[in-house]
């Protein structure tokens, strides 16, 4: 009788352990399934605000350790970032300080990338991400040049208002690390993302110019041809000026993004 009771207890104990193990396995499987179902992250690069940029990224998991992402960055037309700090450094040059105050710029960029995660889990750990970037930059800048009066030989400063756009296409590799906090919050650290490519664009301005002013402006703009690497071509006439240029372009990606996983 005691032997039968012992066998019964042993059998029941085994069944209970098997049930617990099965339940734990099912829960773990559901947890993994729930995590793998959350294949999207939308992120915001908060430090970019210091440079007056709004930077967002969407990332989509396509394999356990591989994802694709696309980033959008834009900045409305505004003064140079930290322009007040720059102005404080050139207190002795009133004309340059005034030009910096008038300088305005904006930009837009789209950056697709492929990420290869080296850590454990989905969207987690150190990653390497090859990327390409298409970017446009606009600028409004007053360009100063000196004109000598042929009669008095006095020298005066004239200003040509120039504005235009630059287009750049670059490629590079981003090194970073990402953490998932809980199930929904993502912290993405863009450690370093050097990129290199080419650029082209032109700036122009309209203003009625005398023959002396045209020549003075033409001579000043020709000095730009001495810039290393960048190729420039300028045209000046009685109605204004235009400067076209092309050459290499380099950039660097960095920042910390906070996102929501879903």
CATH assignment of the domain containing 44 = 2.40.160
Considering the domain boundaries, does residue 230 fall inside one? no
Residue 148 forms part of a structural domain: yes
pLDDT tens track for 128-180 = 999 999 999 999 988 989 999 888 889 999 999 999 999 999 999 999 999 99
107 occurs within a structural domain: yes
> What is each CA distance from 34 to 26, 28, 74, 100, in whole angstroms?
12, 10, 34, 53
Enclosing domain of residue 105: 38-202+248-261
SS3 150: coil
Query: What is the pTM assigned to this prediction?
Result: 0.78
Dihedral pair phi/psi, residue 50, rounded to 5° = -65, -30
What confidence tier does 55 reach under pLDDT thresholds 50, 70, 90? Answer: very high
- In sequence order, what DSSP letters do the residues of 182-212 get, joined into one string? TTTEEEEEEEEEEEEEEEEEEEEEE----HH
175 with 105, same domain?
A: yes
């Amino acid at each position: 009788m005691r032997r039968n009771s012992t066998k019964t207890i042993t059998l029941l104990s085994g069944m209970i352990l098997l049930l617990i193990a099965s339940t734990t396995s099912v829960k773990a499987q559901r947890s993994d399934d729930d995590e793998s179902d959350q294949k999207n992250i939308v992120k915001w690069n908060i430090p970019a605000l210091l440079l007056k940029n709004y930077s967002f990224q969407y990332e989509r998991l396509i394999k356990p350790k591989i994802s694709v992402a696309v980033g959008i960055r834009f900045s409305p037309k505004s003064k140079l970032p930290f322009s007040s700090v720059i102005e404080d450094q050139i207190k002795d040059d009133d004309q340059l300080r005034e030009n910096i105050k008038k300088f305005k710029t904006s930009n837009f960029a789209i950056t697709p990338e492929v990420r290869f995660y080296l850590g454990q889990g989905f969207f987690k750990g150190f990653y390497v991400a090859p990327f390409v970037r298409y970017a446009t930059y606009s600028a409004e800048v007053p360009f100063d040049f000196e004109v000598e009066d042929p009669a008095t030989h006095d020298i005066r400063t004239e200003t040509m208002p120039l504005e235009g756009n630059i287009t750049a296409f670059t490629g590079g590799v981003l090194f970073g690390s990402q953490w998932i906090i809980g199930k929904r919050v993502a912290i993405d650290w863009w450690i370093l993302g050097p990129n290199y490519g080419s650029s082209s664009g032109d700036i122009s301005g309209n203003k009625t110019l005398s023959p002396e002013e045209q020549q003075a402006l033409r001579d000043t703009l020709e000095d730009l041809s001495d810039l290393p690497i960048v190729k420039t071509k300028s045209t000046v006439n009685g109605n204004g000026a235009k400067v076209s240029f092309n050459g290499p372009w380099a950039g660097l990606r960095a920042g910390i993004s906070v996102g929501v996983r879903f």
